[in-house]
């Protein structure tokens, strides 16, 4: 009994030291040496380097390393596998991202948020029909998501289906009025259908909405992207709106 109690005390102590090493000093390697069995700890460290907690740093290599460590501890863990799929997508490795997404779909069929990520993967890989199906499935689960409606509109735009771009953007704006992304999609859809007067009005709204965007807004909208690119992203969006507005003003 004494040996067992002593062992448990030491074991608990190592867990506490691991938590302290990470929370207090940010010593990732030391924390994982002290605690080799806690997948959630490795995942939290991965989230820090993926900036998922909004207080960390952005280092995809370190994030990937710790998510992989979490999967070595627990091969069925959902969060690290999902985050690794996101990292693969951000790096343009669509085949690997899709393989991980499909594993999640098999093991966690009720994880509906996956449809959004898989829609992005298919869309960037050029599998537009599959992308459309995934975004529609995602919107069944979260019908008020502005990003879901906007990315569905993006898929229709890539297909040259501007009527459906317009429809998707209008549906999204019902629950997300004044959203600059949806307003831009709607304005571009109208412009490509020759509805220049309507496009001018909508793109003017988009321009006003985009002028109010902050870095924090951008980070919330692109949680997996490098936060250092926020200002550039906002500037490029504003420039694109102005450019389209200029086209809409032509007769």
Specify if 3 maps to a domain.
Answer: no
Specify if 152 maps to a domain.
Answer: yes
pTM for this one? Answer: 0.83
Query: CA-CA distance, 183 to 205, in Å (whole number)?
Result: 7
Specify if 106 maps to a domain.
Answer: yes
Same-domain pairing of 104 and 143: no
Tokens of 204: 């003017």
With contact defined as beta carbons under 8 Å apart, do 123 and 159 qualify? Answer: no
Query: CA-CA distance, 11 to 5, in Å (whole number)?
Result: 10
Same-domain pairing of 161 and 251: yes
pLDDT for res 115: 98
Q: How many domains does the chain have?
A: 2
CATH of residue 145's domain is: 1.25.40.10
Please compute the mean of the pLDDT values over residues 125-139 and round it to a whole number.
98
pLDDT for res 226: 81
Q: Which residues pair with 58 in a beta bridge?
A: 50
Same-domain pairing of 104 and 171: no
Same-domain pairing of 160 and 211: yes
CA angle 44, 233, 246 (to 5 degrees): 155
The alpha-helical segments, DSSP class H, found in 91-179 are 94-107, 114-125, 128-141, 146-159, 162-175
Specify if 117 maps to a domain.
Answer: no
Q: How confident is the model at residue 122 (pLDDT cuts 50, 70, 90)?
A: very high
Backbone angles phi, psi at 55, to 5 degrees: -125, 5
Domain range for residue 247? 128-251
With contact defined as beta carbons under 8 Å apart, do 37 and 44 qualify? Answer: no
Specify if 101 maps to a domain.
Answer: yes
């Amino acid at each position: 009994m004494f040996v067992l109690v002593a062992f448990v005390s030491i074991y608990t102590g190592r867990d506490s030291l691991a938590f302290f090493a990470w929370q207090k000093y940010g010593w990732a390697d030391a924390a994982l040496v002290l605690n080799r069995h806690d997948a959630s700890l490795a995942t939290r460290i991965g989230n820090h380097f993926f900036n998922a907690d909004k207080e960390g740093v952005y280092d995809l290599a370190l994030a990937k390393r710790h998510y992989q460590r979490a999967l070595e501890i627990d091969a069925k863990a959902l969060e690290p596998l999902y985050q690794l799929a996101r990292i693969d997508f951000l790096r343009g490795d669509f085949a690997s991202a899709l393989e991980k997404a499909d594993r999640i779909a098999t093991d966690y069929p009720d994880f509906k948020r996956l449809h959004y990520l898989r829609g992005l993967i298919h869309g960037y890989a050029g599998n537009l029909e599959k992308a459309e199906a995934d975004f529609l499935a995602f919107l069944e689960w979260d019908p008020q998501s502005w990003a879901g409606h906007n990315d569905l509109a993006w898929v229709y735009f890539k297909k040259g289906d501007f009527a459906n771009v317009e429809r998707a953007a209008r549906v999204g704006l019902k629950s997300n009025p004044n959203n600059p992304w949806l307003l831009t999609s709607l304005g571009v859809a109208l412009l490509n259908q020759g509805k220049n007067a309507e496009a001018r009005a909508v793109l003017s709204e988009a321009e006003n909405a985009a002028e109010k965007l902050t870095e924090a807004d951008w980070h919330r909208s692109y949680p997996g992207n490098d936060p250092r690119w926020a200002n550039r992203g906002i500037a490029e969006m504003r420039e694109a709106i102005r450019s389209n507005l200029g086209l809409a003003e032509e007769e």
